[in-house]
Structure 1
Amino acid sequence: MTVRNPVSNLQTLIRCPSVTPEEGGALDALEAMLSPMGFHVQRMVAKDENTPDVENLYARFGSDGPHLMFAGHTDVVPTGDDALWSHPPFSADIDNGRVFGRGAVDMKGGIACFIAALARHIEENGPPPGSVSLLITGDEEGPSINGTDKLLKWADERGERWDAALVGEPTNPDVLGEMIKVGRRGSLSGRITIRGTQGHVAYPDRADNPLRALPAMLQSLMGKAYDNGNDRFPPSNLEVTSVDTGNSATNVIPDHVSAVFNIRFNDSWTTETLQNEIVSRLQRAAQDLSLRSGKQAATFDIEWLGRPSPVFLTRNDALAGSLSEAIEAVTGKMPSLSTTGGTSDARFIKDYCPVVEFGLVGQTMHKIDEHVPVSDLETLTVIYQNFIGRWFARAVGR
């Protein structure tokens, strides 16, 4: 099969300018690879208010038995200034043993390797004793509204069921084989707005400066640890990312100040219990009058921003064990099982089946001159092929 070569697969995908939310020909290219292999390929367009329509792809090989899903995305982030690239960002040029192009690492490379791995497995061992599906979205780098979440629901409504899933995101910090992601911290964002009374700085008695309440409020959010972490997760951590009064004058006391924050949290919390904790901290801090002599408790509002991402942890020895063994067999390294990093589409998949993440080294993702060594593409393909054999052997009890 021509798709045995992960490098040529990746070059084909990189040459599709699929900057989110544009399909850019990437799903057409995937369909052209998968259909001759025997996959039943379906495309669906997801829609929602105030968001761009996004085309997604679902392909299945086999019709029964244990069902393994590979999930990923073909959309990529913008290239930035093309003139700064040493090779055009959609050229897929090979230079000094490296493939250059937007999406090489994040994450067209992972998709290219999995397709090559499955093609090799089928050619060398015959079809796996079950089913393999590819769930590919075009909305991972965008708002993630019309992507994996809706594609999973669409497939579920059509009777699709999965026993395990592998997401091909770049998980390795420095060297291929060092890290599997077996979970993700939750993410919660919010904006607090402290209300005051506008006035002239020369007459502070006639105003109420909300900035005088801000230090205590921020201290309440960032000063005391939320937890100590545990054997799978680091401590939860909140960072304030923006403070703004909307005030350009130097002689006017503003009537409000807003601060935006994000907290990455572990499984000591749910979204609801964490929201309650944050509100409780702010309410206590609002009583602090150390910088507000003669004033009443500060008045504030809180707005939760975006869609919170829940924390999750996969405990599935058949899945993580098969992948760890495959990595060790190919690289000689026993990977760490990590929950670090940001969110991913695994947060949607975990509601349907156990899920882990493993892909390329992520050092150049989203950067100018994003690239991947040809040797890493071959190594990842061999790992994926080894994993496919091991997982199905466990799934059917061999």
Structure 2
Amino acid sequence: MSRDPAEVNEYPTDLSSLAAALVRIESENPPGNEQACAEYVYDWFDHHRIDATLLREPDPDRPQVGARVGTGGPTLVLNGHLDVVPAGDPDEWTYPPYDGVIDDGRLYGRGSVDMKTGVAIAMLSAYNLRSEIESGELDGSIVIHAAIGEETAAPGTKSLLEAGFDGDFGIVLEPTELRVATSEKGMAWYEIGWAGEPAHASRPDQGRNPIEHIQPVTDALTDYDARLRERSDPLCGQAYGTVTQVVAGADSNKAVLPDRAYVTLDRRILPEETITEVDEEVAELIDTLNREHGIAATWERHETYASAEIPVDHRLAGVVRDHSEAVADISPEPWGIKASTDVRDFVNSAGIPAITWGPGSLAQAHTIDEYVELAAAETGLVILERAARTLLTEDSSVSN
């Protein structure tokens, strides 16, 4: 076992050291602690004389970074996010979640696979290709995003694109085991709640217990999920509607009937479905519940990730597939990712064709003892630089 100490070189240019340095900077979201990590990324670019900006939009307390190498076209945008989900109890980890330990070819730590290694690959691709871009050997430019808030659907990537850190095509460097995803599911969280009437539990008939309605609500949502599972996308798989929270009385005295109960529905949305259509389905489901059971429930949609897709035969996807197959024998078959990423901000908001692609397994994301295989990450860096060289030419069209 070894720790690959960042202090040997504060701004390293080898992948394992840079990824480990990023992992060692805690940037949990919630609550949104990206500032220290964003400042390090900005300083890294500044140290290596790469033009970078520390942006304080959309949240002045949560800066993010946009950087650029070159001024010509076409422009490739390499996107990653700085926030990580909370690590939980550090005693449950084999290695402390923010020590950035390297052991037996793996980098361990929260964010190692989701997705600070992807951010490091973006940074190093810009650094490694700078001389070819600045000399004119390559015609185009590279833009790098180190965005905030991806884990909670904050508009970090969207605001970077709106601030001018955009381009002709984009790669969102989430872990896909180096498979090219041209489509992805969306996701929305729905809070479905209804009121009770508090009373002492020794006199329950003086109040109204909202817990009595939890069973019919969850039964209805289970039936809804069964219907959703009959819908399928050839690349992304099934739609789902999963109850992930049931809450009543958690913040009150145990001898008092709760004043409210709610459930959270996690709805996974196929590319052909729209948020408006899903809202209408949920509204109809709640209306039926209210009529049949007298619940008077209401619903509210919280974090929302729209689904997104580009044609499977788009040239961007083809170039990255070709290099992934040539370097690492990755299947070139069309594929879609079942999770949700910031690729939607490229495709839906900015009209920029983009794919999700990167090293590491999504199965490791958000887990205890999260890790990334460093050999796979190094392979990803080679593939990305080869693909960028192909794409950054004057005749590199992003049309189908």
TM-score normalised to the size of structure 1? 0.79
Q: Does 1:169 align with 2:174?
A: yes
Match in the other structure for 2:146: 136
The code of the aligned residue for 2:111 comes to G
**Aligned mate of 1:232, from 196, 210, 235:** 235
C-alpha contact (below 8 Å) 1:72/1:168 kept by paired residues: yes
For the residue of structure 1 that corresponds to 2:218, the secondary structure is helix
**CA drift at 1:347:** 2.3
CA offsets 1:295-333 (integer angstroms, 9 cap, x no match): xx5142323132422221122611111111111011112
1:28-84 CA-partner distances (Å, limit 9, x unpaired): 443454346663211111355xxx711111111111211110011233344444455
> Does residue 46 in structure 1 map to residue 91 in structure 2?
no
Question: What's the counterpart of residue 372 of structure 2?
Answer: 372
Q: For residue 16 of structure 1, give the secondary structure of its aligned residue in structure 2.
A: coil
Q: Is the 8 A contact 1:216 1:286 kept in 2?
A: no
Could you say which residue in structure 1 is the equivalent of 2:340?
343
Structure 2 counterpart of 1:27: 38
Letter aligned with residue 53 of structure 2 = Q
Alignment of 1:63-102 (within 5 A): 63-102=71-110
TM-score normalised by structure 2 residue count: 0.79
Query: 2:75 & 2:95 partners in 1: Cα distance?
Result: 40
Q: Classify 1:395/1:341 alpha carbon distance in 2 versus 1 (closer, same or farther; 3 Å).
A: farther
Residue 207 (structure 1) shift: 7.8
Q: Which moved more, 1:19-28 or 1:369-378?
A: 19-28
Q: Distance in 2 between matches of 1:45 and 1:180?
A: 32
**How many pairs are equivalent?**
376
| Residue of structure 2 in register with 1:302 after alignment | 298
| Separation (CA, whole Å) in 2 of partners of 1:64 and 1:213 | 61
1:263 pairs with 244, 263, 267, which one? 267
| Bigger radius of gyration | 1
Map of 1:326 onto structure 2: 323
Contiguous gaps of at least 5 residues in structure 2: 1-10
Report the equivalent of 2:5: none
2:278 corresponds in structure 1 to 274
The residue that corresponds to 1:151 in the other structure is 160
| Aligned residue number for residue 110 of structure 1 | 118
State the superposition RMSD in angstroms: 3.6
Give secondary structure in 1 for the equivalent of 2:300.
Answer: strand
Distance (whole Å) between structure 2 residues aligned to residue 180 and residue 89 of structure 1 = 29
4+ residue runs over 6 A deviation: 196-209, 247-255
The runs of 5 or more residues in structure 1 that have no matched partner are 289-296
Cα distance in 2 between the residues matched to 1:26 and 1:250: 42
CA distance 1:117–1:307, shift in 2 (3 Å): closer
1:149-169, CA deviations, whole angstroms, 9 ceiling, x for partnerless residues?
3222223xxxx5411100111
Q: Please give the alpha-carbon distance, in whole angstroms, between the structure 1 residues aligned to 2:390 and 2:364.
A: 30
Identity of aligned residues (%): 24
Cα 1:80/1:257, change in 2 over 3 Å: closer
The aligned residue for residue 382 of structure 2 is 382
CA distance in 1, matches of 2:245, 2:116: 33
Q: CA deviation at 1:194?
A: 4.1
Q: Which moved more, 1:211-220 or 1:107-116?
A: 211-220
Q: Which amino acid aligns with 2:341?
A: S
- 1:5 is matched with 14
Cα separation, partners in 2 of 1:116 and 1:320, compared to 1, 3 Å: same
Could you give the per-residue CA deviations for residues 70-101 of structure 1, whole angstroms, max 9, x where no partner exists? 01123334444445544444443432222333
Query: Which structure: greater helix fraction?
Result: 2
Q: Is residue 191–residue 302 contact of structure 2 (8 Å, CA) maintained in 1? A: no
Residue 218 of structure 1: how far off its partner (Å): 3.4
Alpha-carbon distance in 2 for matches of 1:146, 1:117: 25
In structure 2, the CA distance between the partners of 1:122 and 1:303, relative to structure 1 (3 Å rule), is: same
Q: Output the CA distance in 2 between the equivalents of 1:80 and 1:325.
A: 39
